[in-house]
Amino acid sequence: MFDDLKRLFLPRNQDGTESLLLLVTPHNLKMKTIKSVNSINIIPRVIFGAIANSLRDPKSLRQRLIGGAWALLKLQAANSVANIDINRVTGIEGVPVNLPVDSYDRAVLCALAKLVRPKAFFEIGTYVGMTTLAVAQSSPDATIYTLDLPGPDARNDAVLEMSDEYLFDRWDRGSAFKNSPESIRIKQLTGDSATFDFSPYAGKIDMAFIDASHSYSYVKSDTEAILRILSPTGTIVWHDYPSYPGVFAYLNELGASLGSKIYHINCTGIAFSSRMALVNP
């Protein structure tokens, strides 16, 4: 190897020593090997790895294969909700969001809100209030209305089909924003979304987020309520499409008759429809 190095002596230093400059020749560089790997090369590793992991944990293979295939099939079967990559949303690449990384969907919602610049935002389903707070922080001009049931027992009186029983194991609705500087712009509302009086907001809501009960009947009722209060340039965002059958079924039904197209953002649970042109054709 040292044959490839050229020795070059520089003028002597003041203390009489010599400096040495070593030049690496191109031949020396050629010794680096290039390993090209494509899908065919990883087939044995994938097959043996899958067999080994399935023997160790047979349930995981069933869950991943069947769950993954079912999720893909639903997206493929959607007849009136278009699946798009996030970069189809006009201008989204230039929108910074400053949020913890624990929820990509929340970051996507906040980025959409930054594009829409709502003056009034309505969320159905407050829960702890993490999304309420994140939207308030990223949309400083917005007043945020957020609606939830008045207490844990109210689920027993809900007029339509409830989902997600586990959400009632805790009851601290809105605690995430209660002591935040943004709380001044957040109006916490209580009631069953199926019987709540939305009429004071008619025509005033620029952006809405539907994320309460995920049954077909509640998503339909919540969407119809929001459509009555949406402004002429309003945007509706639904959460948990396509994972909840009720949300999937209702949005694919609605997509056929709604004036504006419904889009699902790939790799998220976010679906939206806007009266503004938010998506590149």
Ligand X SMILES: C[S@@+](CC[C@H](N)C(=O)[O-])C[C@H]1O[C@@H](n2cnc3c(N)ncnc32)[C@H](O)[C@@H]1O
Report the residue from 107, 212, 265, 270 that binds ligand X according to the rule CB under 6 A. 212
Contact between 158 and ligand X per CB under 6 A: yes
- For 184-203, b/e burial (b = at least 16 CB within 10 A) is ebbebbeebbbeeebeebee
> Quick one: DSSP state of residue 86?
G
At its nearest, how many Å lie between ligand X and the CB of residue 201?
15
Report the residue from 115, 121, 122, 131 that binds ligand X according to the rule CB under 6 A. 131
| Interatomic CA distance for residues 254 and 246, integer angstroms | 12
At its nearest, how many Å lie between ligand X and the CB of residue 104?
12
- Cβ proximity to ligand X, 15 vs 165, nearer residue: 165
| Interatomic CA distance for residues 251 and 249, integer angstroms | 6
DSSP track, 36-65: ---HHHHHHHHHHHHHHHHHH-HHHHHHHH
Report the residue from 110, 133, 149, 270 that binds ligand X according to the rule CB under 6 A. 149
175 Cβ neighbours under 8 A, 6+ residues apart:
128, 129
Q: Residue 189 forms beta bridges with which residues? A: 147
- Residues 183-202: x where in contact with ligand X by CB under 6 A, - otherwise, as a string: ---------xxx--------
**How many C-beta neighbours within 10 Å does residue 146 have?**
26
Contact between 216 and ligand X per CB under 6 A: no
- β-pairing, 81-84 vs 120-124, is unpaired
At its nearest, how many Å lie between ligand X and the CB of residue 123?
6
- Cβ proximity to ligand X, 62 vs 170, nearer residue: 170
Which segment (38-46, 56-64, 205-213, 247-255) binds ligand X by CB under 6 A? 205-213
Contact between 122 and ligand X per CB under 6 A: no
- Cβ proximity to ligand X, 158 vs 249, nearer residue: 158
- Residue given tokens 């065919």 in the structure block: 40
- Helices 245-254 and 216-229, interaxial angle, to 10°? 40
Q: 126, 135 in Cβ contact below 8 A?
A: no
- Cβ proximity to ligand X, 57 vs 153, nearer residue: 153
At its nearest, how many Å lie between ligand X and the CB of residue 180?
14
Number of H helices, E strands in the chain: 7, 10
- Residues touching ligand X, count (CB under 6 A): 20
- Cβ proximity to ligand X, 183 vs 193, nearer residue: 193
- Helices 130-138 and 104-116, interaxial angle, to 10°? 40
- Cβ proximity to ligand X, 61 vs 128, nearer residue: 128
Contact between 126 and ligand X per CB under 6 A: yes
- Cβ proximity to ligand X, 84 vs 130, nearer residue: 130
Contact between 234 and ligand X per CB under 6 A: no
Contact between 139 and ligand X per CB under 6 A: no
Contact between 138 and ligand X per CB under 6 A: no
Q: Which parts of this chain interact with ligand X (CB under 6 A)?
A: 123, 125-127, 130-131, 147-149, 158, 162, 167, 173, 192-194, 211-213, 218
